[in-house]
């Protein structure tokens, strides 16, 4: 089979790596079309724990390891997200990569007891390390001590994966798609016209990002989330480190007058951006807000307009869309690279690693894939909306979010449950890549939707006495203390990274 991947960003080159992985048997011709004229989107990107799994286990035979990845992409660790000012100026909460040890139980006791004590984040080892300026690497510079994701520059990660993919037989063509030729009889995409001529393939993967070069014309359709998510614009910018700046291993998600700002450290600098709503502020005002809130000089890279949503059918005939071309949510919970990986996991499992066209393209396969992806995006949308329902009402934007924005059914349901009891993993559907209680809990606690009072009541209802609660708190503190003793300080860790001495 000939597989053509259109677009050479993170999604494109990750797709190429997946296609390589079992190609010794399937022997496909794999081609990536990327245009040197089209820039890769992104000023800093963060991941969830799913990328960590891919980097550490999927591609080891190509020499990809975490340390190699970090050394070659200027990426650094991410222990979690630091939400600043979301529940009013001066408030803060963490959303760590690693959930509590009891996150799969019908009552998440560790999280709840720590919440009652005022330090919910201490129930996560990675948040404890983060809050105390530790890295999740042990003093021997080799072993990891807690769960982490990565912060990276999408362009550099793309290049890293590209060089490995090309070494393993993937071809790369520098061109642009100008039009698509769809077969009138069977509806399949037969070929594309490019600036250098006609290109054919048996199967196509659309990684063209917002352009949706293939899935658009193939009739993928679109379901907008604009009713449910308030932001529609972004101003990315780069911010240099101060001399001797202590880099925290966190994504900063800083609530702003009309949206929020991300700040993602890589080894060299911060990638930042203001995600805002142009219904409540203008581009110029947004830049002013940025300057005023951060006290920085800002040099915007551009002003991006977006529509949060997803395609209705991510897979149509012999074309599937992966990454941004299949859907977009603001990067609040790093769901973009997360869903790219989940899509690829599912596509290559369902597609039997692309052995032949017959074992890849049939209705049952396509339908189960599409309904899975719809759920994945729709569920992520619920989580993102959750963040906007805060105590803030200091601007029209935040008032709108609190009082007028249409809430999703899931958000309504979970917020009502929080008035009566702590939710648990049973309140969320579970599937590969699902974003359930283990992520929701931090925001629910951080925005005070789940109060200490309700948390205590919930634990008591499970028969835990005051003494047991005290014991558990002590045990968690003890375990955290041991972890911190074993771990490097984040400053030392970054130093190791910069001198490429990790693992040595």
Where do contacts with another protein occur on this chain (CB under 8 A)?
22, 24-26, 106-107, 345-346, 349-350, 352-353, 355, 358-360, 362-365, 367-368, 412-414, 416-417, 419-422, 424, 426-427, 429-432, 457-458, 460-463
Q: Where are the alpha helices (DSSP H) in 77-153?
A: 109-116, 125-131
Task: Give the nearer residue to another protein in terms of CB position, either 142 or 460.
Answer: 460
Minimum Å gap between C-beta 74 and another protein is 31
Task: Give the nearer residue to another protein in terms of CB position, either 130 or 165.
Answer: 165
Pick the closest to residue 322 from 192, 208, 164, 202 (CA basis): 208
Task: Give the nearer residue to another protein in terms of CB position, either 35 or 451.
Answer: 451
Task: Give the nearer residue to another protein in terms of CB position, either 213 or 458.
Answer: 458
| Separation of alpha carbons 265 and 247, rounded Å | 7
Task: Give the nearer residue to another protein in terms of CB position, either 28 or 114.
Answer: 28
Tokens of 491: 């400053």
Quick check: helix, strand or coil at residue 420? helix
Q: Using alpha carbons, list the distances in angstroms from residue 98 to 103, 229, 304.
A: 10, 26, 32
CA 113 to chain centre: 28
Task: Give the nearer residue to another protein in terms of CB position, either 236 or 436.
Answer: 436
Write the DSSP string, 56-123: IIITGGGT--HHHHHHHH--EEE-EEEEESTTSTT-EEEEESS--TTTTSSS-HHHHHHHHTT-GGGG
User: Within 13 Å and on the Cβ side, how many CA atoms surround 99?
Assistant: 20
Minimum Å gap between C-beta 256 and another protein is 31
Quick check: helix, strand or coil at residue 464? coil
What Rg, from alpha-carbon coordinates, does the chain have?
Answer: 23
| Separation of alpha carbons 44 and 153, rounded Å | 5
Task: Give the nearer residue to another protein in terms of CB position, either 62 or 241.
Answer: 62
Task: Give the nearer residue to another protein in terms of CB position, either 378 or 413.
Answer: 413
Minimum Å gap between C-beta 111 and another protein is 15
Minimum Å gap between C-beta 494 and another protein is 36
Minimum Å gap between C-beta 424 and another protein is 6
| Separation of alpha carbons 54 and 39, rounded Å | 25
Minimum Å gap between C-beta 233 and another protein is 33
Minimum Å gap between C-beta 411 and another protein is 11
Minimum Å gap between C-beta 175 and another protein is 31
Pick the closest to residue 34 from 152, 196, 153, 222 (CA basis): 196
């Amino acid at each position: 089979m000939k597989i053509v991947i259109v677009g050479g960003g993170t999604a494109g080159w990750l797709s190429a790596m997946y296609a390589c992985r079992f190609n010794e048997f399937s022997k496909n011709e794999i081609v990536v079309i990327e245009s040197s004229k089209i820039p890769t989107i992104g000023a800093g990107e963060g991941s969830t724990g799913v990328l960590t799994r891919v980097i550490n286990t999927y591609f080891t035979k190509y020499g990809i390891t975490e340390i190699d990845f970090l050394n070659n992409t200027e990426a650094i660790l991410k222990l979690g997200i630091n939400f600043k000012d979301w529940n009013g100026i001066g408030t803060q909460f963490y959303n760590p990569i690693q959930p509590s040890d009891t996150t799969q139980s019908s009552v998440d006791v560790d999280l709840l007891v720590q919440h009652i004590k005022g330090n919910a984040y201490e129930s996560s080892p990675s948040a404890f390390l983060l809050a105390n300026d530790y890295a999740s690497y042990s003093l021997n510079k080799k072993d990891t001590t807690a769960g982490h994701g990565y912060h990276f520059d999408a362009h550099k990660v793309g290049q890293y994966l590209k060089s490995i993919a090309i070494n393993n037989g993937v071809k790369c063509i520098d061109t642009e798609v100008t039009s698509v030729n769809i077969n009138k009889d069977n509806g399949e995409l037969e070929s594309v016209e490019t600036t250098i001529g006609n290109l054919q393939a048996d199967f196509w993967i659309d990684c063209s990002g917002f352009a949706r070069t293939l899935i658009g014309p193939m009739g993928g359709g679109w379901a907008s989330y604009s009713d449910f998510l308030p932001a529609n614009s972004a101003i990315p910018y780069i911010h240099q480190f101060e001399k001797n700046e202590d880099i925290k291993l966190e994504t900063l998600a800083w609530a702003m007058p009309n949206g929020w700002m991300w700040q993602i450290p890589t080894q060299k600098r911060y990638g930042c951006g203001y995600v805002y709503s142009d219904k409540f502020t203008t581009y110029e005002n947004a830049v002013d807000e940025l300057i005023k809130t951060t006290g920085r000089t800002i040099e915007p890279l551009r002003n991006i307009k977006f529509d949060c949503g997803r395609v209705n059918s991510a897979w149509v005939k012999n074309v599937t869309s992966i990454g941004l071309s299949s859907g977009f949510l603001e990067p609040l919970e790093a769901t973009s690279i997360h869903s790219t990986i989940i899509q690829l996991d599912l596509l290559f499992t369902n597609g039997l690693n692309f052995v032949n066209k017959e074992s890849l393209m049939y209705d049952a396969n396509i339908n189960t894939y599409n309904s899975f992806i719809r759920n994945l995006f729709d569920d992520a949308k619920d989580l993102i909306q959750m963040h906007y329902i805060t105590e803030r009402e200091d601007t029209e934007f935040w008032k709108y979010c609190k009082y007028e924005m249409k809430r999703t059914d899931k958000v309504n349901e979970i917020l009502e449950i929080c008035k009566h009891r702590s939710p648990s993993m049973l309140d969320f559907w579970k599937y590969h890549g699902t974003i359930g209680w283990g992520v929701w809990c931090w925001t629910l606690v951080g925005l005070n939707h789940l109060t200490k009072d309700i948390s205590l009541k919930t634990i008591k209802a499970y028969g835990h006495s005051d003494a047991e609660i005290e014991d558990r708190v002590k045990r968690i503190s003890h375990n955290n203390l041991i972890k911190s003793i074993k771990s490097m300080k984040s400053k030392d860790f970054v130093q190791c990274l910069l001198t490429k001495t990790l693992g040595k």
